[in-house]
């Protein structure tokens, strides 16, 4: 006697629904790129004779991809291209010769994902190039920039310290206010500390006291965010009678210490960001605008309301 097996109707309906949904195209095919990609130079033997001829950078889609498109049927294929040349042919890897590399200049890469239905989606990330082993003949700084006062004059002698999980590196700004950090290759999490030099009371005069008094009396209110930062001598986040007392003590020589004597503001920063700088001169990776591997700062002399 023949045996018959009957599939439950609910199970059949469920399988049909799953098959139907899997066959539907996604509204948006959105791959996720890694947030910043360090690329290290490598040796290149161009003529295959076993002798290193030059250097370059090679990047693959596997390095660029953080995660595939969510809630979309696979499988996916991936290619990439330089974002500044969207008409260029896509490839699963890209090579950049040292001769085409602009030291210290990051480039944007675009990852292109595609599925069997012919849908495509893209994401972009910034590639940071390093010549740590000097294959390209140039060791690009991991981080560099300029530190100037609010009038644009350079601030030499500022100590810049970068702390990371692997250690720290430090440098001094030169006569042009330039600094560069080279010893933290490939780090993505960093705390940057800026330490000023000079006399804490330098630049503070009775004219600054007059400006502060007028502000507190409402006669000539300071509106510039950087000046308000300079007027906050006790670092409380607001201007009060205590700031005036500290300034008077500095002028009379009753107080010689002022911490911090300078405040540093990342560029660019809006007024709300400046107001939030309650931990002076210490910046975490998520606190400032990191553009490629360069960041500039404006230095504000605390208490000096008519000068830098």
Tell me the Cα Rg of the chain. Answer: 28
Question: Could you give the count of Cα atoms lying within 13 Å of 112 in the half-sphere of its Cβ?
Answer: 17
Give the model's pLDDT for residue 40. 82
Query: Which residues form the domain of 93?
Result: 27-130
In a domain, 68, yes or no: yes
Give the model's pLDDT for residue 306. 79
Q: Same structural domain for residues 71 and 180?
A: no
Domain end (from 105, 130, 155)? 130
Q: Same structural domain for residues 33 and 70?
A: yes
In a domain, 248, yes or no: yes
- Helix/strand/coil for 83: coil
Q: Same structural domain for residues 277 and 155?
A: yes
In a domain, 202, yes or no: yes
As a whole number of angstroms, the distance between CA 184 and CA 163 comes to 9
Q: Same structural domain for residues 64 and 195?
A: no
In a domain, 6, yes or no: no
CATH code of residue 74 = 2.60.40
Separation in Å, CA 292 to CA 87, 125, 142, 259: 24, 10, 9, 31
Sheet strands (E) in 51-190: 54-60, 65-67, 76-82, 93-97, 107-115, 120-130, 143-149, 159-164, 167-172, 178-181
Q: Same structural domain for residues 306 and 230?
A: yes
Separation in Å, CA 221 to CA 212, 271, 307: 9, 16, 17
- Helix/strand/coil for 46: coil
Q: Same structural domain for residues 55 and 151?
A: no
Separation in Å, CA 261 to CA 93, 119, 158, 160: 50, 57, 12, 15
Instruction: Note if the pTM is more than 0.85.
Output: no
As a whole number of angstroms, the distance between CA 246 and CA 212 comes to 11
- Helix/strand/coil for 122: strand
Domain end (from 90, 106, 130)? 130
Residue 250, H or E segment: helix 241-252
Q: Same structural domain for residues 159 and 296?
A: yes
Counting every residue written for the chain, the total comes to 308
In a domain, 116, yes or no: yes
Exposed (0-12), middle (13-18) or buried (19+): which is 181, by Cβ within 10 Å?
buried
Give the model's pLDDT for residue 248. 92
Q: Same structural domain for residues 154 and 51?
A: no
State how many domains the chain has: 2
Q: Tokens in use for 210?
A: 């007059």
Give the model's pLDDT for residue 278. 44
Give the model's pLDDT for residue 101. 67
In a domain, 1, yes or no: no
Q: Which residues of the chain have pLDDT under 50?
A: 2-7, 10-13, 15-23, 186, 276-279, 286-292
Q: Same structural domain for residues 41 and 172?
A: no
Contact 195, 172 (CB under 8 A): no
Strand partners, 148: 154, 298
As a whole number of angstroms, the distance between CA 301 and CA 201 comes to 9
Contact 110, 76 (CB under 8 A): no
List of residues 6+ apart from 71 with CB closer than 8 A: 26
């Amino acid at each position: 006697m023949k045996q018959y097996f009957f599939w439950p109707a609910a199970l059949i309906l469920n399988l049909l629904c799953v098959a139907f949904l899997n066959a539907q195209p996604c509204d948006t095919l959105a791959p996720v790129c890694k947030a910043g990609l360090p690329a290290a130079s490598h040796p290149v033997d161009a003529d295959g004779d076993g002798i290193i001829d030059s250097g370059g950078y090679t990047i693959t889609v596997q390095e660029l991809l953080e995660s595939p498109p969510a809630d979309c049927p696979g499988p996916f294929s991936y290619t990439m291209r330089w974002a500044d040349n969207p008409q260029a042919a896509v490839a699963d890897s890209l090579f950049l010769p040292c001769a085409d590399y602009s030291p210290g200049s990051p480039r944007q890469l675009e990852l292109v994902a595609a599925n069997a239905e012919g849908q495509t989606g893209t994401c972009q990330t910034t590639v940071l190039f390093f010549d740590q082993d000097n294959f390209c003949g140039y060791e690009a700084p991991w981080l560099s920039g300029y530190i100037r006062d609010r009038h644009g004059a350079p601030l030499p002698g500022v100590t810049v310290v970068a702390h990371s999980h692997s250690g720290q590196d430090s440098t001094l700004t030169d006569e042009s206010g330039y600094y560069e950090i080279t010893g933290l290759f490939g780090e993505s999490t960093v705390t940057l500390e800026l330490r000023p030099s000079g006399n804490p009371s330098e630049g503070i005069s009775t004219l600054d006291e007059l400006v502060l008094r007028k502000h507190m009396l409402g006669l000539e209110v300071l509106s510039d965010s950087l000046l308000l930062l300079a007027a906050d001598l006790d670092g409380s986040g607001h201007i009060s009678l205590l700031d005036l007392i500290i300034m008077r003590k500095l002028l009379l020589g009753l107080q010689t210490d002022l911490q911090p004597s300078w405040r540093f503001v990342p560029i660019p920063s809006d007024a709300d960001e400046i107001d939030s700088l309650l931990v002076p001169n210490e910046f975490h990776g998520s606190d400032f605008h990191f553009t490629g591997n360069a960041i500039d700062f404006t230095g504000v002399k605390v208490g000096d309301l008519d000068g830098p």
